[in-house]
Chains A and B, each alone.
Chain A
């Protein structure tokens, strides 16, 4: 209560500018961590899937749990990304950015569903393609945020 009162009281002065800067810095740090987390997790999933492919082992529940964890991080990224986009005054192509955030959410569920009918190497390959898609979209997302596209 006291805190929000202070912020309100200062909101007309220079401190509001500093506050929004702080929020922005925190958010881009969060986005950096999310990006790293998605890349590391999808890297681990990718390696595991390649091992499964080579050894011709059917993917089991543990792998789907890992893919579910990646999906949860991606949902968090959608929220954090939209907030960061609303806050930033950088020249980021908004529609492109959000469409990549949403597109990235679709790859794993569709891939997992699509792989279920083929419980063999081909199904594992579908999952690998889905994970690679997520990693590729993630890299592009970072480039779009940096304003390169």
Chain B
């Protein structure tokens, strides 16, 4: 408990991390809203795409929260979340080009985040760079 939010050493939401957390927060809200709506109203239309949307939302939420909390545990959880995010955007991005039939509707990550100005592709690299910089 006490290792969370130790401002002196482990804070991740300071300096450029503050801008990073804001960007992750925007994506967490956007992806959560979108996926909850998709899954609750028209899940049968594109089950795989909408499940991946939900996964993306969860990853963004975990990344935002752990960056906000900071500390060693926060850093580790953030590192896992951002890595999953990078894997997700790369694999879903490639798959959405290769197997169009699987994706009748878009997810945050399809076409490498084209619908979101390719920010979903940039964000994990920025996140990993920041985590490298703040290694405990």
Contact = CB atoms under 8 A, between A and B. Distances in A.
Given A99-B33, A103-B33, A122 B18 contact: yes
A125 B14 CA distance: 13
B37 A96 contact: yes
Given A95-B37, A107-B26, A133-B26, A122 B19 contact: yes
Contacts of B117: 136
A85 interface: no
A103 B26 CA distance: 10
A130 B23 CA distance: 9
Say which size band chain A's interface belongs to. 10 to 19
Interface string A103-120: 100010011001101100
Contacts of A133: 26
Nearest to A125: B19
A101 to B, nearest CB: 13
B38 to A, nearest CB: 10
A121 to B, nearest CB: 8
Say which size band chain B's interface belongs to. 10 to 19
Contacts of B26: 107, 129, 133
23 contacts: A96-B37, A103-B29, A110-B25, A111-B22, A114-B18, A114-B22, A115-B18, A117-B18, A118-B15, A118-B18, A122-B15, A122-B16, A122-B17, A122-B18, A122-B19, A125-B16, A125-B19, A126-B18, A129-B19, A129-B26, A130-B22, A133-B26, A136-B116
Q: Which 5 A/B pairs are nearest by Cβ-Cβ distance?
A: A125-B19, A118-B18, A122-B16, A126-B22, A126-B19
A123 interface: yes
Interface of B: 14-19, 22-23, 25-26, 29, 33, 37, 116-117
A96 B40 CA distance: 13
Contacts of B29: 103
Most buried by A among B17, B26, B37: B26
Interface in A73-88: none
A107 B117 CA distance: 18
Nearest to A115: B18
Contacts of A115: 18
Contacts of A117: 18
Contacts of A129: 19, 22-23, 26
